[in-house]
A and B are shown apart, each in its own frame.
Chain A
């Protein structure tokens, strides 16, 4: 079973649209991270959230950590073609356990011009 479930798996939108992707779990995490990965490259960290209810903004990207620290969302406003990529969430410290992050399967986003 997957500890972190990401949805949707695939998303294809037009430039200028808004979108939200989700990362859900039945486990409580001490922290949760979002990464973006482009084809043929390693994932790059976007943000780390550690406090339940926390909201962080990175330009057009808004990240939210659920109050119970079991889920998170990433909202992109006015998507651009440069936002295309695989978005991965990763949680660590589940139920007081390992610091090693566990990854979801990712949301593959394509933004068309």
Chain B
């Protein structure tokens, strides 16, 4: 069966510090991978998605970046965090097909102070 791991679960970082959130998927090959951000228990905003190694599409211009160094590894980074980067970050995977469901990790609660 497929599983998705996302860490850390919570993170408190000062403004201007770097960020690295990691997500790995097991039990499937060549998944689509996604990073979403969710503000205060509301809807999900798509940040990045990837259809393959080294292929990253950005949906929202910001000071965040994403990388996919391996087939089942997806990393969200920032060189300098802003207060507005605080939120709940969710990684997800799916197969490439319309209607294919997203399978989410348990998220990372990021607080920038």
Binding site for B on A (CB under 8 A): 2, 6, 30-31, 33, 35, 39-45, 48, 50, 86, 88, 90, 92-93, 99-106, 108
Interface size on B, residues (CB 8 A): 25
Q: Chain A's nearest CB lies how many Å from the CB of B5?
A: 11
Residues from chain B with Cβ under 8 Å of A103 in the complex? 36, 43-44
Binding site for A on B (CB under 8 A): 6, 32, 34, 36, 41-44, 46, 49, 90, 92, 96-107, 109
CB within 8 A of B104: which of A30, A42, A86, A108? Answer: A42
Assess the B42–A40 pair: CB atoms within 8 A. no
User: Given the interface contacts A100-B49, A103-B43, does A41 sit within 8 Å of B99 by beta carbon?
Assistant: no
Complex Cα–Cα for A99 and B98 (A): 4
Assess the A88–B99 pair: CB atoms within 8 A. no
